[in-house]
Amino acid sequence: MTAERFREEIIDHLLHTFGVTPENAGDETYYKAVALVVSDLMRRGRSETEKRAKATHTKQVYYLCMEFLLGRSLKNNLFNLGLEESAREALRTLGVRLDALYDQEPDAGLGNGGLGRLAACFLDSLSTQGYAAMGYSLRYEYGIFRQKLVDGWQTELPDFWLPGGKVWLQEAPEKAVEVHFDGHVEEAWYDNHHTVNHKDYTKVLAVPYDMCISGKDGRAVSKLRLWAARSSDFDMKTFNSGNYLRAVEQNAMAEVITKVLYPEDNNPEGKSLRLSQQYFLVSATIQDIIRRHLFEYGTLDSLPELTAIHLNDTHPVLAVPELMRIMLDECGYGWEAAWDIVSRTVAYTNHTVMKEALECWNQDLFRLRLPRIYQIVEEINRRFCADMHGRGVDGYKVGRMAPLNDGFVKMANLAVVGAHHVNGVSALHSEILKETVFRDFYQEMPGKFTNVTNGIAYRRWVAQANPGLAAFLEKHIGGGYLADAAQLEKLLPLANDGTALRELEQVKRENKQRAAGYLKKAYGAVVNPDSIFDIQVKRLHEYKRQHLNALHILSLYLWLKEHPQADFTPRTFIFGAKAAPGYYFAKQIIRFIVKLGEMIDADPAVREKLKIVYVEDYRVTLAELLIPAADISEQISLAGTEASGTSNMKFMINGAVTLGTLDGANVEIHEAVGDENIILFGMTTEQAEALRQSGYRPGELANNHPVIRQALQLMENGFGGMDYKDLASSLRGSDPYMVLADFDAYAQARQRAEALYRDRQVWNRMCLTNIAKAGRFSADRAIREYAQNIWHADPIPQIPVNKKG
C-alpha cells in the first residue's frame, strides 16, 4: 500500500468510523484509525489464507493456551506487512507522528509471563512460515493486574486495556457456543448405542472475538480466537418478580469467568473459578474446532490427519475429555473409536517441573462443577489403569500414573495419557521430565516423549525493539537474517574487527541512554549509562532467585561501605517482575529489593557506585526498551528448576552476556557460544540434588560465612522502616532454592563479569558472538520442529486462492 493510499484509508475511517475530521482528531483517534486500516488488510489476508488452506486440504494447527502475551500490535503488524514507512509518510502529511501513536496503544491484557509470550511468538512464526493456524484463549476484561508499588509493597489494580485494545478485535456473535456447568448426569453406557442425559446444568455463552496475527511479508495471517463469557439468557421472571439483584447476579456470575487472568485460588471460590475458566476455554474451543472440521469434511474420522490440537501446558488439558464428550454424546462414536481419534489428534507441551503448576483438582469440586467431564475422566482412568495392569505394570506405579487418584484429578497425568506426543522446552528440561516428573510414563511409553527447545520471534526483539542493532546487522550482513536467523552467524568474522566492535558498543550505549531517559521520566531515577546495566526481568518466583541477586547487592553495599576507596565499576541493577497476588513471600522479595534501592540512594558514600531500579508493571513494551540496553542478563535459577526461559534468548540476541546457572536453555546457550562467551556459576542439577539428599543445612552455612551472616543480620535488624525477618528466616531455615549454597559462586561470577566488562575489546567480542550464535533460538526453528516431528503438518502451498486442489 502506498503512502497516498494509506492516507486515504486513514481519512476514510476518521470520517466514517469516528465521525471526526482529520484536523480535529487527536492521537488516540488517529491510532484507532490506523489500527483499523491495518486490521482491514489483515482480515483480507486471513480470508486468503483460509481459502488456500481449504483448497489444498492443508492440516490445521490449533494452539490452546490460557494466555497470549502479545504486547502492542500496531508496530509489529506494520513491520510484518512492510507498511511502516508508508504509514509514517501518510501520517506526516497529516501532521501526525507515528511514534506518538504507538504510545496510545496499551499492552494487550491477555498474558502474564513466559508461557504467554512464547504462545505469541509461536503465532507470529506460524504466520511467517505459512502454516494454517489458529490460537485459542480467553478475552480477559482486565488481564492479570496492573502493578503499583506502594512503599515497596505490590498492590494490584485493574488493567483497563480494552478501551484501547479492542480496536484489534472483531466480535463474531453468530459463532457463539454454549458451555455447560453443574447439573447431574444420568447413567452412561460406553458402547455405540449409549444415551446420556445432562440435566439441570448452568449455561454460559462463549462469544468469540477474533484478532489477526500477521506474518513477516504477509505470507499468511493466523487468527487468535478469544472467548468472552456472557449469560446465555436474562431471567425476566426473576427480575419482574422484584428480585432485581438476583437476576443481575446470575448474569454477572457468568461473565466473571473471563474478567481476570489467573484469579487467586487460595480459597474454594477461586479454585472453582479457575477450573471454570479452563473448561470454558476448552469447551468453546473444541466445539469450534469440531464445527469447522465437520463443515469442511463432514466426518470426524479424518480429524487426526487434518487437525493438530496442541495443549500449551496443563491449563487446556480438559480438551481431552471434552473432545471425547462431543464424539460420544453428540456424534455417536463408540469409546474405542473416539479414543483412537482423540489420542492421535492431541499433543501436549509441559512447561515446568514446579508442583503447583502440575495442576490437581479436588475430585469433589471437579465432579460437582463438571459432572459429565468427571464421568469421562473416570472412564479414561479405569481403562488406562486396566491396560497398565494388563501389561504387568506394578500397582504402585499405576497409581502414580493414574489421571484420577488420591481424591484428585491430575491434569499432567491426564495430558500424558491422552496425547500422542509430550515435549519439554529445553534439552535439560526434557531429560528432567523423563527422569523425574514423568519417569513412570517414560519407562512404559518412551516413544511419546521428545524435546522442542523454545524460540523467540526475533524479528520483533531485534528489528523492532533495537533499530540501532538492526541497522548494524543490515550494514554488515544484509537483511537475509530476517527470514533465516542462521544467517546471524555471518557476524562471526567481525569478532576481531575493532571498528565493527566499537560500532556495536555505540549501539549498546545509545540503547542504554534511551532506557536511562525513560527511567528518569517514569521514576525520577537518574542512572549512569556508562555503568554496567545488570538486568533481571521475569516473573517473580523463588526458584528464579531474585533474592539471590538482591542478597548479593546488599553484600556489595556493605563491602563498599567498608572499602570506600576500592576500584569499582559502577553498576545499575534493574528489576522488573510481578508476583502472584497471593504469593506473600514473593511480595516480600519485591519490597526488600525496593527498600534496598532506597537505602543505597540515601547513602552518598555508595549511590554513585550502586543503583537499583525496580520498574513497575513489567510488560512486553518495557521489555522492548530494557532488553536492548542490558549488558548482563541475569538467568540465575537453581539448576533443574527453570524449564527453558525465553528472556535469556531475547537478551542474547540483543548482545547481552548471560550470567547464569546451567539451567533450562542456558545449557544450550553455553553449547552455542562456548565457555568464553558466557559467565556460568553454581551447582549443576545433579550437584544440587546430591546436596539436597545429603542433608542441606543452610543455617550452618549462614552462621559460618561472615559475608552472608552480616547481610542476614542487617535484614533481620531492618532498614527503610521495616525488617525482612521472614526472608532471612527462610534462608537460614529451609532455603528451598539453595540461595546460600550458590552465593559464593555467584559473587565470584559477578567479579569475573566486572573484569571482563573493563576490557572493552573482549566484552564487545562476547556481545557480538552472542548475537551471531542466537539464530538457533528462533521461534521459526521451534515451529518447524513441532510441525515436522509432532504435528506432521506442512505450510500451505502457495497457489492462487481460486484454484481448487
Q: Residue holding cell 496510545?
A: 104
> CA angle 436-314-372, nearest 5°?
120
Q: How far is CA 443 from CA 379, 447, 569, in A?
A: 23, 10, 52
Task: Please compute, for residue 152, the number of CA atoms within 13 A of its CA located in the half-sphere on the CB side.
Answer: 20
Catalytic, 544? Answer yes
All three cell numbers of 180: 455447560
Distance, CA of 364 to CA of 367 (rounded, Å): 5
Catalytic, 538? Answer yes
- Sign of the dihedral through C-alpha 327, 332, 333, 334: positive
Distance, CA of 778 to CA of 653 (rounded, Å): 10
Q: Which of 315, 421, 539, 765 is catalytic?
A: 539
H helix or E strand, kind and range, residue 284: helix 268-297
Question: How long, in residues, is the chain?
Answer: 805
* Contact status, residue 661 vs residue 635, Cβ threshold 8 Å: yes
Catalytic, 587? Answer no
Residue 360 β-bridge partners: 410
Q: Which of 351, 587, 591, 750 is catalytic?
A: 351
**AA identity, residue 652:** M
Q: Which of 180, 538, 732, 776 is catalytic?
A: 538
Q: Which runs of consecutive H residues, i.e. helices, occur in 298-437?
A: 303-306, 319-325, 335-343, 363-369, 371-390, 395-401, 411-418, 427-432
Q: How far is CA 304 from CA 284, 739, 791, in A?
A: 19, 47, 9
Q: How far is CA 11 from CA 75, 186, 681, 763, in A?
A: 20, 60, 57, 50
Distance, CA of 76 to CA of 525 (rounded, Å): 29
- Sign of the dihedral through C-alpha 19, 21, 26, 30: positive
Q: Which of 650, 732, 776, 781 is catalytic?
A: 650
Distance, CA of 186 to CA of 189 (rounded, Å): 10
Q: Which of 128, 345, 453, 646 is catalytic?
A: 646
* Contact status, residue 578 vs residue 112, Cβ threshold 8 Å: yes
* Contact status, residue 320 vs residue 339, Cβ threshold 8 Å: no
- Sign of the dihedral through C-alpha 71, 72, 76, 77: positive
Pairing of strands 346-349, 422-424: parallel
CA dihedral 456, 517, 83, 618 (to 10 degrees): 40
Rg from Cα positions in the chain: 27
Residue 612 β-bridge partners: 573
Q: Active-site residues: which are they?
A: 351, 538-539, 544, 646, 650
